[in-house]
Amino acid sequence: MTDILTVNGLVKSFDDFVAVNGVSFSIDEGETFGLLGPNGAGKTTSISMISGLLESDGGEVHVAGDRVATSSTKAKAHIGLVPQDLAIYPDLTASENLSFFGRLYGMTGDDLSKRVDQVLEVVGLSERRDDLSKEFSGGMKRRLNIGVGLLHKPRLLILDEPTVGVDPQSRNAILESVEQLSGEGMAVLYTTHYMEEAERLCDRVAIIDEGQIQAEGTRRELVSMVGEKDKVTIAGGGALSSSIPAIEGLAGVTGVSATEQQLDVLAEDASSILPQLLAAVTDAGGSISGVEVFEPNLEAVFLHLTGKALRD
Amino acid sequence: MKPFSIAWSNVRRMLRERSNIFFVFIFPIALILLIGVQFGGGVDPIVGTFSADDGDLSQEIHAAIEAGESFDVIVYETEEALVDAVELGSVQAGVFLPAGMDAATAEGTPVEIGYVARPDGFGAQMQAIVNSIVAEVMMPVGAAQYAAAETGQPFTTALAASQSIADSLQVSPVDVSYLGEALFPASLGQFDLGAASQLILFVFLTAMAGSAALILTRQLGISARMLSTPTSVGQIVVGESLGRFGVALVQGVYIMVLTLIIFSVNWGDPIGAIMLLIFFSAVGAGAGMLMGSVFSNDQQASGMGVMLSLGLAALGGCMLPIELFPPTMRTVAHVTPHAWALDGFAELVRRGGTVVDILPELGVLAAYAAALFALASWRLRVAITRP
Ligand SMILES: Nc1ncnc2c1ncn2[C@@H]1O[C@H](COP(=O)(O)OP(=O)(O)O)[C@@H](O)[C@H]1O
Ligand SMILES: [Mg+2]
């Protein structure tokens, strides 16, 4: 796989305050990559440098092999940026906003007007294309804001907390369109402080706090990296404890404990051994009345890494 | 191409705002109309008079002016006091009646009645009225002179006869020369100078008000978003500048064309007038860009912009004609681009100059524009890339 984005040792200070402190990661072609961290972690500052809005104090960014700087128009042609704060003209209509930015992306004429129609369709604003964007609901403005970033079919779409302050319905629509775009092969860099969004959308996640990346990998890699285990709780009766030796022999199981009515199992990857686990219990003569699987989430990983909760 | 897109979005947004339509298109014309046609109602303008002696003719003219209904009259004791009053604007015009008018008319020599006014529209209009009042008094005198010369009768006899039939007869009035004519030629339309002053004032004001739009564009994160597209800072700066320039130019052309059609304002040589407008719009756009780059609060910028625009307009002679400034102030006034633009229009309108005659003024305006744009693009570049 080739990298569409490589970020190498980005640093940015505001006066004495170091907002971004050596951030490095890379994103494959077509991959969805999450930057997960609380408010003030340095996500937006990193994004600003990655998309060439902010001069960095150190480090390098390349998009599709082109070096990004505030003055580099070549690299920027590969990127579609959806900034955290709405950046659309309130006194222009949806289609006027799209046409305007489309021209800045170098589109003209029929190409432009066709693409504007398509994007309006994608973000569900075709019906309201000729209304001023200031008359839109919060969710509609967000969708238009995203639409601007899609106009030129960028190879890398950067979304900075696109669901903040959005009603649940619009939020879901946004997540679905990101999934769809990613399915069509667009690489996505997605920042959020919502653990569920990172888990749902992202192939890989980097956890960022205080300007530094604390850990990076797939959800499973991150979870095991910090020693967090899946937990399976089996409720039932009979000879539950007699299945313990068999369960301990299963791959990835790190601990088992039992009471009269309940059996708790800690394992690396619970879902993959679940059938064997249940078989072991019934083989030993136990009866099962209920099964629950707890997979540790990124919230737990974050807590483990930083000693604080993701949402403050 | 991209700069034009940015410029066009600016013009489009400006035209969409209803209050802008009022201030950019309706208000200036209303003001030109108001200043040009002030006799329609409201407060009467004031004429100051000064008589050098107490002769019969002086008293008669004076009484006739006072009897007029178009304006109020204030009598001044000295010539200087009246000139000062006109300069300060406490009276809109001054009428100077010289000494020995009775004797002069008896001898048949022409009398010179002085007239000084502010060229803000009141002057020309009032001059016509003073003219007709004086003519009415002088008509029998002229007739008597004519009769005396033709018939050899003594002037006093002829005057008595002509006055007795004056009410029932239409006789063409004598020529009375006015001292004020050198300053404001009689051919000058009542709206001409007022219109040039208003044009300059409003074009600059509108361009300065454009600074708020630029600040809003920055605050909304749209400048940053433009920079995230394959658009260079240079293109953004040029686009925003063109936007401001376009708005100013659209307003200027509109004022020129409309006043030409409605009020028959004489703008002089058309090429010269358009060149002046283009260069002055560029100065305004540069100033608006600088304001919009330096300030980060649109309300602050609007407030400062209006204050600065009105201040510069006043200093530059858009409110009180520069000809009435003391010499030092006249020099100081030329710190403003307004004074140079007004000089240019004066050259075109009053002296029938062409574009060649206003090259110095155009040069100065070009220098202003270049300096302002250079400063503004430097500041805006910093503002956009280091938020
Ligand atoms: N222009 C700026 N000047 C000073 N401090 C800033 C500026 N931008 C961001 N910061 C600070 O840098 C830190 C990271 O901010 P940001 O990148 O916006 O975080 P996030 O997007 O993860 O919420 C915060 O503490 C913020 O206050
Ligand atoms: Mg942020």
Residue A107, domain CATH: 3.40.50.300
Distance separating alpha carbons of residues B290 and B18, to the nearest angstrom: 25
Q: Is residue A50 located within the same domain as residue A68?
A: yes
Residues A76, A68 contacting (CB under 8 angstroms):
yes
Question: Does ipTM top 0.90?
Answer: no
Q: Is residue A153 part of a domain?
A: yes
Domain membership of residue B219 as a residue range = 2-39+191-385
Domain count for chain B:
2
User: Is the domain of B88 the same as that of B210?
Assistant: no
Give the end of a domain, one of B130, B165, B200.
B165
Average pLDDT over residues B347-367: 91
Q: Indicate whether B148 and B198 sit together in one domain.
A: no
Cβ of residue A37 lying under 6 Å from some atom of ligand 1: yes
pLDDT surpasses 50 at B169: no
Which of A23-26's residues contact partners 24+ apart within 8 Å by CB, and which partners?
A23/A59, A23/A208, A23/A211, A23/A212, A23/A213, A24/A59, A24/A213, A25/A206, A25/A213, A25/A216
Q: Are residues B210 and B132 in the same domain?
A: no
Domain for residue A302, yes or no? no
Ligand 1 contact via A40 beta carbon (within 6 Å): yes
Are A112 and A156 in the same domain? yes
The rounded Å distance from CA A19 to ligand 1 centre is 6
Helices B270-294 and B337-349: crossing angle in degrees, nearest 10, is 170
DSSP string of B309-346? Answer: HHHHHHHTTSSS-GGGS-HHHHHHHTTSHHHHHHHHHH
Residue A83 Cβ contacting ligand 1 at under 6 Å: no
Q: Kindly determine whether residue B16 and residue A100, on different chains, have CB atoms separated by under 8 Å.
A: no
A154 and A242 inside one domain: no
In this structure, the answer to whether residues B8 and B115 fall within a common structural domain is: no
Report which residue type is found at B231: T
Residue finishing a domain among A224, A245, A279: A224
pLDDT at B134: 77
* Residue B132 or A282, more confident: A282
The CA-based angle B237-B240-B245, given to 5 degrees, is 120
| Residue A306, in any domain of the structure | no
From atom 8 of ligand 1, which residue's Cα is the shortest distance away?
A45
Calculate ∠ Cα B214-B218-B221, nearest 5°: 145
| Ligand lying closest to the C-alpha of residue A208 | 1
The answer to whether residue B174 sits within a structural domain is no
8 Å CB contact of B387 and A54: yes
Kindly state whether residues A197 and A253 are assigned to the same domain: no
- Residue B112, domain CATH: 3.40.1710.10
Q: Which of A199, A224, A249 corresponds to the end of one domain?
A: A224
Where b means 16+ CB within 10 Å and e means fewer, B143-162 reads: bbbbbbeeeeeebeebbebb
Residue A16 domain-assigned (yes or no):
yes
**B140-164 pLDDT tens trace:** 776 777 677 777 777 777 677 666 6
Q: Which residues span the domain enclosing A174? A: 3-224
The partner residues of B196 in beta bridges, in order of sequence, read none
Same domain, yes or no: A9 and A158? yes
DSSP SS3 for B153: coil
From residue B9, alpha-carbon distances to A88, A126, B140 in Å are 12, 21, 67
Atom of ligand 1 nearest to the CA of A208: 22
Residue A236 has pLDDT above 50, yes or no: yes
* Residue A307 in domain: no
Residue-wise pLDDT tens digits, B273-311: 999 999 999 999 999 999 999 998 888 888 899 899 999
Neighbours of A155 (CB within 10 A): 18
- Quick one: A70 and A178 in the same domain? yes
Query: What is the least distance, in Å, from the CA of B382 to any CA of chain A?
Result: 11
DSSP sequence for A250-285 = STTEEEEEE-SSEEEEEESSHHHHHHHHHHHHHHTT
How many Å lie between the centroid of ligand 1 and the Cα of residue B189?
Answer: 62
CA A61, CA A79: separation in Å to the nearest integer?
12
Looking at the fold, whether A254 and A159 belong to one and the same domain comes out as no
Question: Domain ends where: A224, A251, A274?
Answer: A224
| Ordered strands of the A204-209 beta sheet | A79-82, A156-160, A187-192, A32-36, A204-209, A212-217
Tens of pLDDT along A256-275?
A: 888 888 888 888 888 888 89
Same domain? For A32 and A12 the reply is: yes
Q: Evaluate whether A79 touches A154 at the Cβ level (below 8 Å).
A: yes
Closest residue in chain B to residue A57, using alpha carbons only = B386
Query: What distance in Å separates residue A195's CA from the closest CA in chain B?
Result: 27
Ligand 1 binding pocket mutation candidate from A10, A12, A14 (most atoms within 8 A of CB): A14
Q: What is the pLDDT of residues A150-197, one digit of tens each?
A: 999 999 999 999 998 888 888 898 999 899 999 998 999 999 999 889
Cβ-contact A45, A20 below 8 angstroms: yes
Would you give the DSSP letter of residue B121?
Answer: T
Residue reference for tokens 């900075």: A160
Mark whether B96 and B233 lie in a shared domain.
Answer: no
Contact yes or no for A163/A113 (Cβ under 8 A): no
Please check whether residues A70 and A158 belong to one and the same domain. yes
Last residue of a domain, one of B165, B182, B216: B165
**Alpha-helical regions (H) of chain B:** 2-16, 18-21, 27-36, 56-67, 79-88, 101-107, 122-151, 155-166, 192-219, 222-228, 233-263, 270-294, 298-315, 327-333, 337-349, 359-385
**Which structure tokens are listed for B168?**
């029932």
Same domain, B232 and B305: yes
**For residue B194, pLDDT beyond 90:** no
| Adjacent-strand bridge partners of A189 | A33, A158
Task: Indicate if ligand 1 lies below 6 Å from the C-beta of A38.
Answer: no
DSSP state of A228: -
Please indicate, yes or no, if residue B182 is contained in any of the structural domains.
no
**What is the spatial distance between Cα B83 and Cα B89, in angstroms, rounded to a whole number?**
10
Same-domain pairing of B113 and B202: no
Q: Is residue B177 part of a domain?
A: no
pLDDT at B41: 33
Q: B252 with B217, same domain?
A: yes
What amino acid occupies position B247?
Answer: V
Assign residue B53 a region (left: φ > 0; alpha: ψ between -120 and 50; beta: otherwise).
Answer: beta
Residue owning the nearest CA to atom 24 of ligand 1:
A40
CA distance linking residue A76 with residue A52, whole number of Å: 7
Q: Per-residue pLDDT for B325 more than 90? A: no
B176 found inside a domain: no
Per-residue pLDDT at B178: 40
Does residue B184 sit within a domain? Answer: no
Same domain assignment for residues B35 and B139: no
> How far apart, in whole angstroms, are the C-alpha atoms of residue A196 and residue A172?
12
Structural domain ending residue among the three candidates B121, B149, B165:
B165
Assigned domain for B309 exists:
yes
| Side-chain-facing half-sphere of A18: CA atoms under 13 Å | 12
**Per-residue pLDDT band at B44 (split at 50, 70, 90):** low
Q: State which residues have CB under 5 angstroms from ligand 2, the bound ion.
A: A 43-44, 84
Which CATH number is A255's domain given?
3.30.70.100
pLDDT of B171 = 34
pLDDT digits (tens, 9 = 90+) for B238-271: 999 999 999 899 999 999 998 888 877 888 899 9
In total, chain B counts a number of residues equal to: 387
Give percent of chain B above pLDDT 70. 83
Based on the domain organization, do B80 and B210 belong to the same domain? no
Residues A104 and A246 in one domain: no
Bridge partners, A238 (sequence order): A286
- pLDDT grade for B187, boundaries at 50, 70 and 90: very low
Structural tokens at position B220? 């909304």
Task: Work out the number of other CB atoms within 10 angstroms of the CB of residue A228.
Answer: 19
**Which pLDDT score is estimated for B37?**
53
Position B182 scores a pLDDT of: 36
Q: Identify the sign of the CA torsion B331, B336, B339, B340.
A: positive
A30 lines ligand 1 (CB under 6 A): no
The answer on A21 and A130 residing in a single domain is yes
Under DSSP, the state recorded for B26 is I
Task: Report the predicted TM-score, pTM, of the whole model to 2 decimal places.
Answer: 0.72
For residue B116, being part of any structural domain is answered with yes
User: Do A9 and A121 fall into the same domain?
Assistant: yes
Question: What total number of domains does chain A contain?
Answer: 2
- Rounded CA-CA distance B348/B101 in Å is 38
Residue B181 domain-assigned? no
Ligand 1 binding pocket includes A147 (Cβ within 6 Å):
no
**Is A309 inside any structural domain?**
no
Place of tokens 């002085």: B114
Q: Which residue of B has its CA nearest to A74?
A: B230
If you take atom 18 of ligand 1, which residue's CA is the nearest one? A44
pLDDT: which is higher, A89 or A270: A89
Q: Per-residue pLDDT tens for A47-77? A: 999 999 999 999 999 999 999 998 888 999 9
Tokens 């238009």, located at residue: A144
Contacts 24+ apart (CB under 8 A), B304-307: B305/B205, B305/B208, B305/B209, B305/B211, B305/B212, B306/B205, B306/B208, B306/B209
